[in-house]
Chain A
Amino acid sequence: MVRAQISMVMVLDKCIGCHTCSLTCKHVWTNREGQEYAWWNNVETRPGVGYPKRWEDQEKYGGGWVLENGKLRLRLEAMGKRDPPSIKDYYQPFEYNYEELFTEEIRDQQPAANPINMYTGEEMDVKWGPNWDDDLAGANIYAGMDPNWRILEKEIYLNFKDVFMFYLPRICNHCLNPSCLYACPRKSIYKREEDGVVLIDQTRCRGYRYCVTACPYKKVYYNWKTGKSEKCILCYPRLETGQATVCTVSCVGKIRYMGVVLYDEERVIEAASAPENELVKAQRDLILDPFDPDVIRQAKADGIPENFIKAAQESPVYYMFKRWEIALPLHPEFRTLPMVFYVPPLNPVITALDRRGKYNAAYENIIPTIDELRIPIKYLASMFSAGNEEEVRKALKKLVAIREFFRLVNVEGMSKTEASRVLSEHGLSVRDADLMYKWLALGRDRWTIPTRKVELRMKIPKRASR
């Protein structure tokens, strides 16, 4: 069975950590009572603890799946975990008392707007926030708490702050094997057949919050006011009219790419049960070639509209995740098959002041070899490939190859054909390089969103009286 999924790639080298995505999302979807603390989109600094605090630590939060005798089981069941995170794991929402700016008596100092608790209206001391460790603030304390350090040697982590940082924007991954969905005893969560968006039916939900615990990315948020859970809806009303999500459109760094991928639904569970170091490969194998006539025939037979197939052929997600293998899923070891992918950061500033205060470029070539990058491959592998360093290396090598190619052409004046040898080493063509240049460097045509097929429009059920 061929299915279509609208998904996203984020190119981490381009994220400037401006939080515009989070703010636009908040203003459109969660600027209301009960969701004050909820950031359907949030941006974290890495190394760091993230939001909610140390969400990647499943021993604490109980999210995702575990493999028991070759079978998938919800971790919350395996652990007997029942309690969802508390407001302390997120943060106490606060506002500023802007009134004070107008009413304060005239004094020597400037007037200040003090933070007030959004629930009680009382003044409060802010001691934690959704992005408390932004730009490595307080890194001496918080960066060491990053769960991804577990696999790194101590000395690397002690030296980390001289070494690297990057931003990690996160939304719901609209997973192919969503643990949130399976954990709901009322079957309130569904994955839309036509585009794979994972939604919570607000008429079914009774606020049990099993989904909150089950989502390993902590991307379901309980609304304490309505008593129901909510999550990122991938801006589906926008998708239906052919527009990209608000976070994508507003992204300042133009890091977000959206498109359709076709996948084989029958093999989802098999891919989610793959051995840890093969998870990325197994997920890639699920994605089908939208140019293959057999795939197209089957897709049509399975009711996928023409415009979705066309969009899949133009999809940056298809190219970056499947064809070029430069994008990777976030924490595939949670086994939900997340469908938001990340192009890992190169962070390639290679010169550093040596002891004598001189710049020291340790490479004969200006383009670094990837094992000498500032960001430890191991750290990236912990985050994006369940520890499989080869996957990360492969992705970064291709990114380096593209840079090398364009340097050879633009700086050294080589012809494209001549320079293309650096590409072919990595299985890339000049056309691939041009496409990458258009998408990654120029940031053009970052999304192709097919409008929704009219026949698939669902009848909205009448709301029950409550």
Chain B
Amino acid sequence: MKTRTFMILVILMAASITLTGMGVSLVTAQVTEIKAPYIQEALPLNPKDPLWGEVELTQVPLVAQLLAYPMSLDTTPRSLKFAIVHNGTHMAFYIEWDDQTMDVEGGGELNKFSDAVAIQFPVQEGELPYICMGDTANPVNIVMWKAGIGAENLVAGSAYGRDAKEREALGLQQVPTSPIEMLPEDAQIWKSQAVYEDGKWRVVLIRPTGSTHPLVPDLRPGDSTSIAFARWEGSKYERGGAKSTSGWYTVKLEQIAVEAVETVTQTQTVTTTQTTTETVTQTQTQVTTETVTVTETTPAVTGAVKGALVGLVIALIAAILALALLYRRGMRPS
């Protein structure tokens, strides 16, 4: 493939993914601001605790990562369900998903990859970071849970923008080793516990609401933040970039109020998006020109526009898929 054609493709893809990202986040932001209810008790780390049977779960559609090497080979749509609660001092994520096989690496096995899940947060307030793990100006904090290994608190995107002194002060290696870096010991604030039963993973992740590290967002009662998910299936040899990911979601930690445990009810739109992803694999239309309309209409999302928007998102994702396929055929990674 000629370099120019390739560059155009890259630009188109970048543009469309940004728009899709914005589109998705705007839709969900408008319709489903997911509430993290306040509960007046210690948060249970055990995924089998009755509390996790009572919380309202939000379903999150996930699509295969097809932009960068190494891409996911399995493009069938996936999903996960999650809930978030807090008790003033700590917040907890409960995440569950179906997976036919339990995959845990280690123990002398060489071709096993762990099932895993990750949640991504913006480090700074304001404009949302680039959905694919942030960038230098706008990094993301990621908690990654891996079967058999547990939770690791990571930072992505910030690696190359800081000088050695600044990096050292942040507890990072002076010379960045990768765009995704392990945060220092004092930032490893997540606790995790997981259960695999009846073809289903259930994972609880808990961290204090307050942060101890500048690259980990401080999330207090009353605060809102955005989150995005990624999930890996070990049985499909997924690791690193071979994964499926979601768009941004907004969550709000409820103010502490006595006897006020609200539940989340807004799951309807999410289901719509689920249908969206399923249609994606069949749709082949390319509507790159229409993307302009998306940016213009999204700020005022009304019921009628919403339908059109969802249609556009479908078309966009289809375009990305088609382009990514082209890209995959012709390129050598370097």
Q: Which A residues lie at the B interface, using CB under 8 A?
A: 36-37, 71-74, 77, 80, 82-87, 90, 93, 119, 182-183, 185-188, 201, 203-204, 206-210, 212, 222, 224-225, 227, 461-466
- In contact, A203 and B333 (Cβ under 8 angstroms): no
Known: A186-B178, A224-B106, A465-B185. 20 other contacts (CB 8 A): A71-B332, A82-B237, A82-B238, A83-B111, A85-B111, A86-B110, A182-B332, A182-B333, A185-B241, A186-B240, A203-B177, A206-B178, A206-B239, A208-B70, A209-B110, A212-B110, A461-B173, A462-B168, A462-B174, A465-B171
Chosen A-B contacts, 29 in total, with CB atoms closer than 8 Å, are A71-B332, A72-B332, A77-B69, A82-B70, A82-B242, A83-B111, A83-B237, A84-B111, A85-B111, A86-B110, A87-B110, A119-B107, A183-B333, A185-B241, A204-B178, A206-B178, A206-B239, A207-B105, A208-B70, A209-B110, A209-B111, A224-B105, A224-B108, A227-B149, A461-B177, A462-B174, A464-B181, A465-B171, A465-B182
Residues of B participating in the A interface, judged by any CB pair closer than 8 Å: 68-70, 73, 105-111, 149, 168, 171-175, 177-178, 180-182, 184-185, 236-242, 328, 331-334
Q: Which residues of B contact A182 (CB under 8 A)?
A: 332-334
Q: Which residues of A sit under 8 angstroms from B110, Cβ to Cβ? A: 37, 84-87, 90, 209, 212, 222, 224
Known interface pairs A86-B111, A464-B173. Does A208 touch B239 (Cβ–Cβ under 8 Å)?
Answer: yes
A224 to B334, CA, bound (A): 27
B182–A466 CB distance below 8 A: yes
Which residues of the other chain, B, contact A74 by a CB distance below 8 angstroms? Answer: 332-333
Residue of B nearest to A222 (CB): B110
Q: How far is the CB of B7 from chain A (nearest CB, A)?
A: 17
Which 7 A-B pairs give the minimum distances between C-beta atoms? A82-B237, A119-B108, A204-B177, A461-B175, A86-B111, A465-B185, A208-B240
Question: DSSP class of B's interface residues: helix, strand, loop or mixed?
Answer: loop
Which residues of chain A come closer than 8 Å to B111, judged between CB atoms? Answer: 83-87, 209
Expressed in whole angstroms, the Cα–Cα distance for A222 and B332 within the complex equals 24
When chains A and B are docked, how far (Å) is the Cα of A74 from the Cα of B333?
8
CB of A464 within 8 A of CB of B184, answer yes
In the complex the two chains form, is A462's CB within 8 Å of B173's CB? yes
B177 and A210 contact, CB distance less than 8 A: no
Name the B residues within 8 Å of A86 (CB-CB): 109-111
**Nearest A residue (CB) for B334:** A182
A36, A188, A204: which has the most chain B beta carbons within 10 Å?
Answer: A204
Chain A residues near B331: list those with CB within 8 A. Answer: 73
- Residue A185 contacts which of B69, B175, B236, B328 (CB distance < 8 angstroms)? B69
